[in-house]
A and B are shown apart, each in its own frame.
Chain A
Amino acid sequence: MSDIEHKPEDSIPFFPDHVRTEFYVVLGVLAVTLIIGIIALFKPVGLGEPADPLNTPLHVKPEWYFLALYQILKKIPPMVLGIQGKIIGVALPIILVGLILAWPFIDHKPDKSRKIYRYRMAFVILAVLIIIALTIWGEVS
């Protein structure tokens, strides 16, 4: 808890200084949303065909942020090591989320040096690249 106290010279007050910077960020995001809105006045998001429960389309795809997961699910063979592939495909994201949730309790030793940032950065880049590749694969297949 020692890093809560800050010396006056290396800190700024929350109000008004920090609030002001946050306000500028908010203004920037607001500008982006307004641009989106203005573009949409000429080119709306649009809709597909109305839902028809009797007519299954050829390519069913979830939103892009589930696409990587969906691609894994699709490509898992029906039987792996005597367990149904379907079950593995479902268990995988649950285990993954559980792992992420429990991560602070697994990696609980305090960081020694900045070097560890590099390793984590490399891991993150690798993971993101894999997810992007899976997403693109899911998008084109």
Chain B
Amino acid sequence: MRYISLKRFGMLIMLVIALGLFIFVTTHAQANSPSTPDKSNAAGSPNWALAELVSGSQLLVVTPPSPTQDTCLSCHVLGQNKGIWTPLARWLLFGGLGLVFAFGVYRSANTWVTRSPWRSVTSRAAGWVDDRYQVSEPLTKVLKKPVPKYALRWFYCLGGITAFLFVVQGITGILLAFYYKPTPDAAYASIQYIESQVYFGSAIRAIHHWCANGMIVICVAHMLRVFIMGAYKRPRELNWVSGVLLLVLTLVFGFTGYLLPWDQRAFWATTVGSEIAGAIPAIGNLALVLLRVGWNVTGETLSRFYGLHVIVVPLATVSFMFAHFLMIRRQGIAKPL
């Protein structure tokens, strides 16, 4: 009878109640939503009834300020460029001065109260953290790790440049993703918008474009350096393997990113590229359908490539980079003969 103890029984009852509630809530929600979608409302337009219901609550509604009061951050976003700089400069100047003043007051008061010389904010913060997590000793060990002098020659910095270019790609890519729309109708126009309307949009896109090319060049150069100097030999075999996988991921970045402008070159290059994948024996058709989401390059392909380009491949790249760096730290930089 141990198995029907009160505790287990109680848990079972809780489970049944939770399940019942879940079923009730889901079916209830089903019953409330219209079973046949309203045709006039079907094309992705908002649920106005719900919006009205929500906007009945005063807290949830944002009312824009009147035009005379609007310092107009929104104008800046919409490209109207009306009066953004003056309020921004004002905020920075007076806000900064205010912070300095407040800090001065606090510092004077603190020196007065404690009757001891002022300790700088950074050393206080470091002390606070170290007091709780005891990081200073391991951190010193990490930071003071000796780096051999031969690693200061120029061809040892190629890998670091690749990593930095990846960071550049991440930042510019996020900025582009704010404005880019991955649908066949809107993709081309959104890139035209980025190039012509968005502030520094053409610069950001050009940096993303050229640094992508540069990243491939420098990544390959790094690989050739490692190859020539035999730095892949025992005990660094896995570092080489992860590096090659990183190069492949970089190429996948290039391949998926190339489709996103949705112009003729992009479309047909992807068509040909996925056709090549389709020629693989045995799994060719599967690979083709997985890449294209169907038998043709369509809007679904664009969505898939966008998802791969901005989420899947970056995550994979970051994890491999982490492994790559960790192994370098653990094993040190290979010594040339």
B248 within 8 A of A: yes
Contact B263 A48 (CB under 8 A): yes
Question: How far apart are the CA atoms of A87 and B297 in the complex, in Å?
Answer: 22
Known: A25-B157, A61-B269. A40 touches B205 (CB 8 A): yes
Question: How far apart are the CA atoms of A101 and B320 in the complex, in Å?
Answer: 14
A78 within 8 A of B: no
- Give the residue among A39, A41, A63, A87 with the most B Cβ atoms within 10 A: A63
Question: How far apart are the CA atoms of A39 and B240 in the complex, in Å?
Answer: 37
A3 to chain B, nearest CB (A): 4
> Can you give 26 contacting A-B residue pairs, CB < 8 Å?
A6-B147, A6-B148, A11-B148, A12-B152, A18-B152, A25-B161, A29-B164, A33-B168, A36-B211, A37-B203, A37-B207, A40-B203, A40-B207, A44-B195, A45-B205, A47-B195, A53-B296, A57-B264, A62-B273, A89-B276, A90-B281, A100-B244, A103-B227, A103-B240, A117-B229, A117-B230
| Chain B residues within 8 Å of A38, by CB | 203
| Chain B residues within 8 Å of A48, by CB | 261, 263-266
| Chain A residues within 8 Å of B149, by CB | 10-12
What is the interface of chain B, defined by CB distance below 8 A to chain A?
142-152, 157, 160-161, 164-165, 168, 184, 188, 191-192, 195, 200, 202-207, 209-211, 213, 216, 224, 227-230, 232-237, 240-241, 244-245, 248, 251, 254-255, 258, 261-269, 271-273, 276-277, 279-281, 284, 296-298, 331-332, 334-337
Question: How far apart are the CA atoms of A99 and B317 in the complex, in Å?
Answer: 21
Q: Of the candidates A22, A61, A64, A107, which one forms a contact with B157 in the assembled complex, judged by CB atoms under 8 Å apart?
A: A22
A84 to chain B, nearest CB (A): 8
- In the complex, how many residues of chain A place their beta carbon closer than 8 angstroms to a beta carbon of chain B? 72
Known: A37-B206, A89-B279. A60 touches B268 (CB 8 A): yes
Q: For chain A, what secondary structure do more than half of its interface residues adopt (helix, strand, loop), or is it mixed? A: helix
Question: How far apart are the CA atoms of A6 and B161 in the complex, in Å?
Answer: 25
A126 to chain B, nearest CB (A): 12
Contact A90 B276 (CB under 8 A): yes
| Chain A residues within 8 Å of B269, by CB | 60-63
Contact B200 A50 (CB under 8 A): no
Contact A14 B144 (CB under 8 A): yes
| Chain A residues within 8 Å of B202, by CB | 40-41, 44-45
Nearest residue, chain B, Cβ from A3: B335
A82 within 8 A of B: no
| Chain B residues within 8 Å of A41, by CB | 200, 202-203
Question: How far apart are the CA atoms of A103 and B152 in the complex, in Å?
Answer: 27
Contact A10 B232 (CB under 8 A): no
| Chain B residues within 8 Å of A61, by CB | 265, 269
- Nearest first, the 7 closest Cβ-Cβ pairs linking A and B are A40-B206, A37-B203, A51-B267, A11-B146, A15-B143, A44-B202, A104-B237
A75 within 8 A of B: no
Q: Assuming A26-B164, A105-B237, A110-B234, what are 5 further A-B pairs, CB within 8 angstroms? A: A6-B332, A37-B206, A73-B276, A101-B241, A104-B241
B325 to chain A, nearest CB (A): 12
Question: How far apart are the CA atoms of A25 and B267 in the complex, in Å?
Answer: 37
Nearest residue, chain B, Cβ from A51: B267
Q: Of the candidates B211, B228, B233, which one forms a contact with A124 in the assembled complex, judged by CB atoms under 8 Å apart?
A: B228
